[in-house]
Amino acid sequence: MTPLLVVDDLAVEFPMEGGVLRAVDGVSLEVGQGEILGVVGESGSGKSVTAMSVLGLVRPPGRVVRGSVRFDGEDLLALPARRLRRIRGRRIAMIFQDPMTALNPVVPVGAQIAEAIRLHQPRLGRAAVRARVLELLASVGIADPADRYGRHPHEYSGGMRQRALIAMALANEPDLLIADEPTTALDVTLQSQVLGLLDTARRETGAAAVLITHDLGVIAELADRVAVMYAGRVVEHGEVHQIFTTPRHPYTRGLLSSRPGLASATGELVPIPGSPPDLLAPPPGCAFEPRCALGAGRAACRTKRPEPVAAAGGHLSACHFPGEPA
Amino acid sequence: MSEPVLAVEGLTKHFPIRTGVLRRQTGTVRAVDGVDLALHPGRTLGLVGESGCGKTTTGRLVVRLAEPTSGRILYGGRDLAPMSHAELRPLRGEIQIVFQDPYASLSPRLTVHEIVAEPLRTQGRYRDGGRERVGELLELVGLSPEHAGRYPHEFSGGQRQRVGIARALALDPRVLVLDEPVSALDVSIQAQVVNQLVHLQRELGLAYLFISHDLSVVRHLCDRVAIMYLGRIVEEGERTEIFARPAHPYTKALISAAPISHPSQRGGRRRIVLAGDVPSPADPPSGCGFRTRCWKAQERCALEEPALTGAGHRVACHFPEDSTTADPGGCYGGKRLKSDARRPDVAGDDDISG
C-alpha cells in the first residue's frame, strides 16, 4: 500500500538579517493510512515549519526551496492555490496549539464549525449543517451542544475550546489530521482527555495523523511511529517501541534520559549540555556534535554531515556512530 | 523538623469584580482563600494545581507583590502581611521570586550586568564591590561573567532563566519563590536548570516554594507537596506520601492524568476523567469546592466545607481515599495497574465527560 503522505527531502528557508535561516533541511517523512506519526523535537527544530509546508502555509518571505510533499499521489507543493484550498480543511485538517488564537473571538463557535462544513459542502442545507455541528460538538464531549452552538469562544473554557477545534478539524472527515502541540496549552487533566479524544477520532474515522510535540509523554501515549527532529533535520525515525527502548541517535537518548522520570528517585537529572546550534551558522558536520558525548571531537562528526542509515526493522538514524554507547 | 523560615496562615486574596460606569463592586473572585503553608531552610515545597487555582497569586502574595486581603505571612518573627512598602523594603531582599517567562521578565534594554546589578543598586549595596558580586552571581548560576555586557536577546531561554535566577539571588535571599521556572524551557534545557536549582539550594540553604503544574518535575525536586484547587490547599504532605498514597480525590485524578513515560504503559493506567470544568472562583460551590466534579460527593459535601486536617499528611475531604485501597507502589514504575480496573469510580482511558 502506498503511504498517504510522503514528504521527500523538504527544505524551507527564511531570509533573515544575518543571512538565510534554513529551518527545515532535507526532511523526509511518510505517513501510512490510519497511522499516527509523532514528530518530536525542541523549539526551533523545524517540526512546525514542516507541518506548515505540507499545508502550503509557509508565509513569505519564508519559502520551500527543495523537495516534494505527495498526498495521495498528488504533489501539494505544485498545486495551484485553488486546488490546495479544496484539500485543506477537507482532506487534510489542522489542529493548532492555542485554541484561543485559532478561533475567531467575535463569531459564535457553532457558526465557525458550520463555516468549515459549508466551505467544502456548499450544497448542504442550513438545517443539515446545524445538525452536523451539534453532532460534532457532542462527539467531542461538549455538554448541551444546542446551548453551546451560539456561544462565543470566550464563553468556552480552555479545554472546551480545544475540543471545539478538534470538532472543527473532524467536520469534513479528513484523511489526515495534523496536530501541532495540541495539548501543550492545556492542564494535565485536560491533556489526557484531548489525547483520548484524538485516539478515538482516529479509530472511528480511520484518519491518519501527524502529531507534532515536544512532549515525549504525548508520543509515548499515541504515536505508532516517531520522527525525532534536531536543527531542521530528522535525526532518528522508527517505530515507537524502537525509539523508546533502543534509541540509536545520541540526541534521542539524551532527550529520553533528561526527563524527570516519574518513577525515578530524587537524584541528578541528566541534561544534554549546551544549547541547540544557531541555524544561521550551523556547524559544518553533524549539527548535534557540539553537544554530543559520542562525537567528542571525532573528525567525521566535525566535518561530515551524517545521512540517515537504516538498521533492522527500518529504524533510521543519522549518526556516524549510531547505537554506540556513550 | 527545623523551624520554618517563612509561614503563611489563612492567606487570602479576593479580587473585586467591578462593572458598569460607576465601577461598582458586583462580586468577588476568591483567588486565594485561606492558605496555610510553611517553608523550611534547605527544603522545597511544591505548590501544584491547574491554571486558575491560585498558585501564582499565592506566590506573589508570599513575596508581597500582591496585597493580601487577610491572613498572616510570618517571617523572622514578624508579620509581613500588614506592612507598608517602606517597612517591607529592607526585607525584600530576603524573599525573592523567579518568574515563569524568561523572555518577559528581563528588560530587553538592559545588559545582563545591569539586570543582575539592579537589586543591588536599589538596596544601595552596589557601590561596595557590586561589580565583583555580579560576576560571582553569574558564575554561581553557570554563566560566564564575560557575558555580562550582552543583552537578553543574545541568550537562549535556559540562559535567560539563569539570569533571572542570578538576579533573584543578588541580595542573598533565604526564601525563593519559583513560579513555573522551567515550564517555558525545552526538556534538555529544563534538566540543566533543575540541576542548577538543586545545587544552589544545597550550597546556600535556600527555602524554595516551587510552583508548577508539572508533576514529574515536582516529584523530582520537592520534599513536600501541596495540591491546590479553587484557591485552597486540598492536600499537603511529604512527596513520597502524596504520590504513593494520594488521599484527596482531586490529587488522585491529577496523578492519574500525568502522561506515561514509555509506550509499553499504554492502556495500563486507569485514567480518572473528571466531569465538567473547574467552577468559577467568583462563584465557588457551597461546601467542598471540588464536589461538583467529584465521584464521591454526597450531601454532606455541599453543606459542610472540609477542613485541612491530619498530622504530616493533611487532606481536606470528608471521604478521603482509604490508604489500604491505594496502590502501595504508586501509580508509576512501569507496572500495569490491574487493581483499579474493577473499581466503578474509575473511568477508562477513552471516556470523555464534558
Per residue in A211-265, pLDDT tens?
A: 999 999 999 999 999 999 999 999 999 999 999 999 999 999 999 988 886 444 5
pTM comes to 0.86
Interface test with B, best of A269, A278, A288 (most B CBs within 10 A): A269
Q: State the residue for C-alpha cell 543574545.
A: B154
Average pLDDT rounded to a whole number, residues B145-168: 91
Listing DSSP states for B260-305 in one string gives: PSSGGGTTTSPPPPPPS-PPPTTSPPSS-TTGGG-TT--HHHHHSP
Size of interface A-B (CB pairs under 8 A): 145
B-facing residues of A in 206-265 (CB < 8 A) are 214-221, 223, 240-241, 244-245, 254-255, 258-264
Average pLDDT rounded to a whole number, residues A205-215: 92
C-alpha closest to that of B308 among B36, B18, B2, B22? B36
Interface test with A, best of B188, B196, B227, B294 (most A CBs within 10 A): B188
Q: Indicate the residue of A141, A263, A271 with minimum beta-carbon distance to B332.
A: A263
Chain B residue with Cα closest to A193: B352
The complex's ipTM works out to: 0.83
pLDDT tens-place string over residues A183-203: 887 788 888 888 888 888 888
On chain A, the residues whose CB falls within 8 A of the CB of B264 are 241, 244-245
Q: Residue B211's Cα: distance from chain center in Å?
A: 2
Q: With contact defined as beta carbons under 8 Å apart, do B155 and B119 qualify?
A: no
Cβ distance A271 to B264 less than 8 Å, yes or no, reads: no
Per DSSP, the three-state class of A182 is coil
Average pLDDT rounded to a whole number, residues B74-81: 94
pLDDT at B337: 36
A-facing residues of B in 81-100 (CB < 8 A) are none
pLDDT at residue A312 is higher than 60: yes
- Helix then strand then coil, in percent of chain B rounded to 5, is 30, 20, 50
CA dihedral A263, B99, A100, A14 (to 10 degrees): -90
The answer to which of A218-227, B110-119, B225-234, B327-336 has the lowest mean pLDDT is B327-336
Mean pLDDT of chain B: 87
For residue B228, the cross-strand partners are B233
* φ and ψ at residue B100, rounded to 5 degrees: -65, -50
Per DSSP, the three-state class of B256 is helix
* φ and ψ at residue B113, rounded to 5 degrees: -60, -45
Cβ distance A43 to B186 less than 8 Å, yes or no, reads: yes
Cβ distance A260 to B216 less than 8 Å, yes or no, reads: yes
- B147 part of contact set with chain A, CB < 8 Å: no
Q: With contact defined as beta carbons under 8 Å apart, do B346 and B279 qualify?
A: no
* φ and ψ at residue A309, rounded to 5 degrees: -125, 135
Q: Indicate the residue of A142, A216, A260 with minimum beta-carbon distance to B194.
A: A260
Q: State the residue for C-alpha cell 541528566.
A: A270
Cβ distance A263 to B334 less than 8 Å, yes or no, reads: yes
Q: How far apart are CA B208 and CA B201, in angstroms?
A: 8
Burial class for B85, CB neighbours closer than 10 Å (0-12, 13-18, 19+): exposed
Give me the amino acid identity at A318: A
**pLDDT band, residue B323 (cuts 50/70/90):** low
Q: Indicate the residue of A157, A197, A276 with minimum beta-carbon distance to B277.
A: A157
Q: Indicate the residue of B191, B195, B261 with minimum beta-carbon distance to A220.
A: B261
Residues B295-319 as b/e (b if ≥16 CB within 10 A, e otherwise) read: eebeeebeeebbebeeeebbbbbbb
